[in-house]
Amino acid sequence: MSASETIHVDGVWQSAASGATREVLDPADASTLQVVSEGGAEDADAAVAAARRAFDDGAWPGTPVAERSALLRRVADLLQRDREEIALIESRDTGKTLEEGRVDVDDVTNAFRYFADVVMNESGGRVVDAGSPDVHSVVVHEPVGVCALITPWNYPLLQASWKIAPALAAGNTFVIKPSEVTPLSTVHLVKLLVEAGLPAGVANIVTGAGLPVGQRLAEHPDVDLFSFTGGLVSGTKAGAAAVSGAKKIALELGGKNPNVVFADACATDEGFDTAVDQALNAAFIHSGQVCSAGARLIIEESVRDRFVAELARRAEKIKLGRGTEDGVECGPLVSQQQLDKVEAYVASALAEGAQLRCGGARPEPSDVRPATGYFYAPTVLDGCHREMKVVREETFGPILTVETFRTEDEAVALANDTEYGLAGAVFSADTARARRVAARLRHGTVWINDYHPYLPQAEWGGFGKSGIGRELGPTGLDEYRESKHIYENLRPEPVRWFAG
């Protein structure tokens, strides 16, 4: 198999039907990492046809649950076998640090093991009382069919696992299109699925751009479920195409997430240090290229000056460089396009009156930071307000904006004043207040005295323009109620991802 044969259809690795290829770049220096196939609509059609045949022949959907579960566990073991190799691929492809890449592989492993357990522990169905002893009525779960899965460039392997593991556990077949910017770890994952013994046609991958591959998958009549994680504009268009075909859809479209810090969280030196450290973690992990990033610091006015001064001091000390280098804490942005976007957001914020406390520019080149890389310094913008573009829109970069409040009601109003509703956090030493505020936040995940942990057992969804839900049955009631995961750390402490 040549390096450019990255399309896998019906058990065969192949080039694009058109013969087109694309260079995948290393964001640390803009060099070519690998040449991959640039698929098109014809490749998408072939992949869907293979997935359709594999589902309709009944072999995989009819595979006993224990065997499906065992396969997921074999994949988990293979992920751990290849942990260092995959972490390196992820680091070089996305720009994140090697340690972040290792964490991603471990999280992906946990996801496969979790869904292997879930499917094994499901009951045989829910008996429904039909009101007659002569009638047996039962509600059972069956696979949806062919799933089209679209994943983003920031966490390509992790997001792929969140879709692939449950799809396979349930007995579905799928076609996945990773981001054209960061496809390499997903290609490796499909190789592991094949190695684990997944039948031909069950797992298919088409590397290529959203137009035409993603659009074709969204509108394809033989696709039963369409799952997309990515930007609001692209996701809205793809979702509309999927809805027009009456498909089941799942969309996660980003966020603009508040991190609310009350003064009482900073009443002790330890509490202050923890809140500052978590604010750094919230905003600057993976250079802020995280849908759940705590990009909006909403801080009580009485502690704002001290808090922001320490935050900026430590942000300036974050070590930028190639993610594979020892000691580097933050890598480059994923592309030149993303770098240009971040620079434009900072420029607009300064034009609208924001105060630059640190960052705001590309760093000087160094031995671990090539001049050709897409690096941008962690940036803290003080004196921000809701009318600013940088506060309203998802920047997806190392930009932290600062807003202040005086009362609890004002803090809640600010935090909820967004068209998104993906995630947020509350820091307070007052347990009753923290839980009260968390309950009032219109966000799918709310952390209390912590930021960024996730549990595979907890639902991940969003309010507003951040997500879409379920319907019918006992869980279908949740289609008419928003789901929220509240994660409370009863013993908060610094995470020390950034030394400072």
Annotated active-site residue in 291, 330, 358, 384: 291
- Residues in a beta bridge with 149: 176, 227
d(CA 52, CA 46): 10
Token pair for residue 256? 């603009």
Q: Are 152 and 230 in contact (CB under 8 A)?
A: yes
**Residue 368: other Cβ atoms inside 10 A:** 17
- Residues in a beta bridge with 148: 175, 226
CA atoms within a 13 Å half-sphere pointing along the CA-CB vector of 192: 29
The separation between CA 437 and the C-alpha centre of its own chain, rounded to angstroms, equals 25
SS3 322: coil
Name residues whose C-beta falls within 8 Å of residue 102's C-beta, 6 or more positions apart in sequence. Answer: 83, 84, 87
387 catalytic per annotation: no
252 catalytic per annotation: yes
Annotated active-site residue in 100, 219, 252, 300: 252
Region for 217 from its dihedrals, namely left if φ exceeds 0, alpha if ψ lies in -120 to 50, beta otherwise: alpha
Alpha-helical segments (H) within 329-479: 336-351, 389-392, 408-416, 431-440, 473-476
3-state secondary structure 434-475: HHHHHHHCCCCEEEECCCCCCCCCCCCCCCHHHECCCCEHHH
d(CA 249, CA 123): 25
Q: What is the set of active-site residues? A: 252, 291
